Chains A and B, each alone.
Chain A
Amino acid sequence: MSETMKAKTNGDVGAPVFVVDGLRRHFGGVPAVDGVSLSLRSGEVLGLIGPNGSGKSTAISIISGFIKADEGSVVLDGRDITNRRSDQVARSGLVRTFQIPRVWGELTALEHLLISGVAVAEESLRTALIRRRHLRELERATARRAAEVLDYLNLGSLADTRAGSLSGGQKRLLEFGRLMMLKPKVILLDEPFAGVNPTMVQQLQKVIDQLRSEGVAILLVEHNLQALTESVDRVAVLALGRLIAEGDIETVRQIPEVVTAYLGERKRK
Chain B
Amino acid sequence: MINFFISASTFVAIQTILALGLNLQYGLAGLLNLAYIFFVAMGAYVFSVVTLPHANPPDTSYVLGLHQPFLVGLVSAAVVVGILGFLIGAVALRNLRADYFAIVTLTIAAGAVQIISQFTPLFGGTEGIFNIPQPLGGVFQGQSYDVFFLAMCVVIGAVVFVIVELLRKSPFGLALRAVRDDQDAAAAMGRNVYRLKIKAFTAGCSVAGLGGALLASFVTAFSPAGWSLSETLLILVCVFVGGAANNYGAMLGTFLVIGLLGQVPTLIPLTSRNPDLVADSRYILIGLLIIVFLRWRSRGIIPERNVRQSDVEVTS
Contact = CB atoms under 8 A, between A and B. Distances in A.
Q: Do A and B touch directly, given a CB cutoff of 8 Å in the complex?
A: yes
Interface of A: 64-66, 85-87, 90-91, 95-98, 102-108, 110-111, 114-116, 118, 120, 122-125, 127-129, 135, 138-140, 143-144, 146-147, 159-160, 162, 178, 182
Interface stretch (B49-57, B190-198, B224-232, B286-294): B190-198
Interface stretch (B34-42, B108-116, B181-189, B271-279): B181-189
Given A110-B307, A140-B312, A144-B314, A127 B187 contact: no
Contacts of B163: 129
A84 to B, nearest CB: 11
B152 interface: no
Contacts of A160: 306, 308-309
Contacts of B167: 125, 128-129
A124 B163 CA distance: 14
B185 A90 contact: no
B110 to A, nearest CB: 30
Kindly name the residue among A102, A103, A118 whose own CB sees the greatest number of chain B CB atoms within 10 A: A102
A114 B174 contact: yes
A102 B174 contact: no
B185 A139 contact: no
Q: Which 10 A-B pairs have the closest CB atoms?
A: A128-B170, A104-B181, A143-B312, A90-B190, A102-B185, A91-B190, A86-B187, A123-B175, A123-B171, A159-B309
A147 B170 contact: no
Contacts of A103: 181-182, 185
A125 B172 contact: yes
B306 A162 contact: yes
A127 B199 CA distance: 14
Nearest to B309: A159
B94 to A, nearest CB: 14
Contact of B170 (A66, A127, A144, A178): A127
A118 B170 CA distance: 11
Given A106-B177, A110-B309, 8 more contacts: A87-B192, A95-B189, A104-B182, A106-B304, A118-B174, A129-B163, A135-B170, A147-B314
A90 B178 CA distance: 15
Say whether chain A's binding surface is mostly helix, strand, loop, or mixed: helix
A139 B307 CA distance: 11
B170 to A, nearest CB: 3
Contacts of A146: 312
5 contacts: A90-B187, A90-B188, A95-B189, A106-B245, A110-B307
Interface residues of B, number: 37
Contacts of B199: 125
B188 A95 contact: yes
B187 A87 contact: yes
Given A110-B307, A129-B167, A90 B189 contact: yes
B203 interface: yes
Contacts of A114: 174, 307, 312
Given A107-B177, A129-B167, A102 B184 contact: yes
A125 B196 CA distance: 10
B259 to A, nearest CB: 28
A98 B166 CA distance: 32
Contacts of B185: 98, 102-104
A106 B176 CA distance: 12
Given A124-B172, A128-B166, A135-B170, A107 B189 contact: no
A37 B203 CA distance: 45
A103 B181 CA distance: 8
Nearest to A126: B172
A257 to B, nearest CB: 33
Contacts of A143: 312, 314
B133 interface: no
Nearest to A122: B171
A115 B189 contact: yes
A128 B173 contact: yes
Contacts of A139: 312
B316 interface: yes
Nearest to B176: A123
A17 to B, nearest CB: 18
Contact of B191 (A87, A96, A98, A140): A87
Given A87-B193, A129-B163, A108 B188 contact: no
A62 B184 CA distance: 14
A110 B182 contact: no
B307 A108 contact: yes
A110 B196 CA distance: 21
A138 B306 CA distance: 18
Contacts of A86: 184, 187-188
Given A111-B174, A160-B308, A106 B181 contact: yes
Nearest to A112: B178
A224 to B, nearest CB: 23
A256 to B, nearest CB: 37
Nearest to A86: B187
Nearest to A64: B188
B182 A105 contact: yes
Contact of B172 (A65, A107, A128, A159): A128
Interface string B291-312: 0000000000000101111001
Contact of A140 (B166, B181, B314): B314
A120 B306 contact: no
